[in-house]
Amino acid sequence: MRHVDEYRDAAKARSLAASIAALCEPGRRYTFMEVCGGHTHTIYKHGIEDYLPEAVSLVHGPGCPVCVIPMGRVDDAIDIASRPDVIMTTFGDMMRVPGGRGSFLDAKAAGADIRMVYSPLDALGIAERNPSRRVVFMGIGFETTAPSTAMTVLRAASAGVANFSVFCNHVTILPAIKAILDSPDLRLDGFIGPGHVSAVIGCRPYGFITRDYGKPLVVAGFEPLDILQSIHMLLTQLAEGRCEVENQYGRVVPWDGNAKALQAINRTMEPRPYFEWRGLGFISHSALRMKDASFDAERLFDIPGSRVADPRSCQCGEVLKGVLKPYECKVFGTACTPETPIGTCMVSSEGACAAYYNFGRFTRERVKEATR
C-alpha cells in the first residue's frame, strides 16, 4: 500500500492547501470544472473541498459516460434486446439506467436476454459460444473504453465471428468541452482535465481551450494529492498570467497519447455527424459509430431512433453542465436516490449525484445551515 499512501499523505495535503490559499487574490473567486466523474468521486470521498479556501469552487462536468446517454438510446437498446434471437450484453452500470420505457433490468425481467459483462471480450466469447444467436455489445464510454471495443471488433473480424455487433454509444470529450465553453450559463476559470481519457488522446488536443477560450487546463490523476496539486497548478498559472495545458498525471498520461489505442479506434470507428447528449443536446462530431456495417447494430437492426424528454423533476442536465450542484436538484436524496434513481447521475458509479449522496451529504447539510 506504500504507493497509494504517498498520494494520500495528510501533512502534504495540508501544506498544499495552505499554498492554494496563499495563491488566491483577496476578493476574487475561482471556479474550476473537474471534467471526469472519477475526479468527482475522489473529491467527495476524500473531502477535498474541505481543504480548499472559500474562494475556490469546484463544479462537475459531463465526464461520466453513463450519465450523458439520453433516455432514447436506452429505449433503442431495449428494442434490440427484446428480439428473440438477440443476446444483449452491457456493463453493469447500464443495467439500471432508466429509459422512457424502463431499464435493462425491467426488460430482463420481462424476458429479454440481457447479460452483464466486464469487457467487450466477454461479449465476444458469448457470441462464439452461441453461433445461432445474434450477440450485441452496448458500447459506452469516452476514448477511455473505445479502444477495448475497437480491439474486440478487430479480433471478431480476424476470427470470422459473424454474429457479433456493437450498439455504439462511444462519445468524445473535446466537442463536449467546447459545448460547455460556448454555453452562456457558466463562468469558469479553468479545467481539471480527465486522466483516463487523456491516457489515450494525450494532452495536445486540449490546446484549443487555452488558445481560443483563454482557460488553463491541468490533466490530473485520481488520488487526493493529484487533485490538490492540479488546483495549485491552475492557480499558479492564473497568478502568473499564463494560460497553458499542463500534465499533472505524467506518470500515466503521455503528452501525445497512446498511438496503438488511437489506431485501433481509427481502424474501426468514425465520427458521427451529430449525437444527442443528455443535458447538452445535439453536439456535432461528438460520438463514434462503427465503420463496418457488419459490426454496426444500428444498421443490422431496424431501430426506432427514439427521442425521450427527461422527467421534469430531474435536473441531470443542469448538473452535467456544472450549472447546479447535485444537492440543488429538486429530487436529490428524496425521490431520487441510488436505490430509486430518476436520473443517470444518481445511477452511475461515476455520477456526480451518486458521489454527493454517498460521500457528500454532510457537505450538503453544512450548505443548508449556512443558507438559513
pLDDT tens string 205-254: 999 999 999 999 999 999 999 999 999 999 999 999 999 999 999 999 99
d(CA 325, CA 58): 9
Q: How confident is the model at residue 371 (pLDDT cuts 50, 70, 90)?
A: very low
d(CA 118, CA 79): 22
d(CA 135, CA 124): 8
Residue closest to 156 by CA, chosen among 257, 297, 302, 299:
297
Helices (H) and strands (E) in the chain, counts: 18, 13
CB 312 within 8 A of CB 330: no
Query: Span 114-130, mean pLDDT?
Result: 98
d(CA 58, CA 49): 8
Q: How confident is the model at residue 25 (pLDDT cuts 50, 70, 90)?
A: very high
Cell numbers placing 20: 492554494
* pTM as predicted: 0.89
Query: Span 37-66, mean pLDDT?
Result: 89
Out of 263-277, 290-304, 327-341, pick the least confident.
327-341
The pLDDT of residue 274 is above 80: yes
Cell numbers placing 274: 451529430
**pLDDT of res. 317:** 80
CB 33 within 8 A of CB 192: yes
Strands in 134-141's sheet, in edge-to-edge order, are 114-116, 86-90, 134-141, 164-170
Q: How confident is the model at residue 318 (pLDDT cuts 50, 70, 90)?
A: confident
pLDDT tens-digit map of 179-190: 989 987 778 999
Query: Span 250-263, mean pLDDT?
Result: 97
Query: Span 33-49, mean pLDDT?
Result: 90
Return mean pLDDT, the chain.
91
**pLDDT of res. 348:** 75
The tally of CA atoms less than 13 A away on the side-chain side of residue 96 is 16
- Phi, psi at 7, each rounded to 5°: -95, 5
The pLDDT of residue 37 is above 90: no
> Coil, strand, or helix at residue 273?
coil
**pLDDT of res. 366:** 53
**pLDDT of res. 17:** 94
d(CA 44, CA 318): 19
Query: Span 92-102, mean pLDDT?
Result: 90
The pLDDT of residue 333 is above 90: no
Out of 84-93, 140-149, 215-224, 359-368, pick the least confident.
359-368
Residue closest to 278 by CA, chosen among 100, 110, 89:
100
Q: Residues 79, 84, 86, 89: what is their CA dihedral angle, to the nearest 10 degrees?
A: 70
**Where do runs of H (alpha helix) occur along 24-70?**
37-45, 48-51
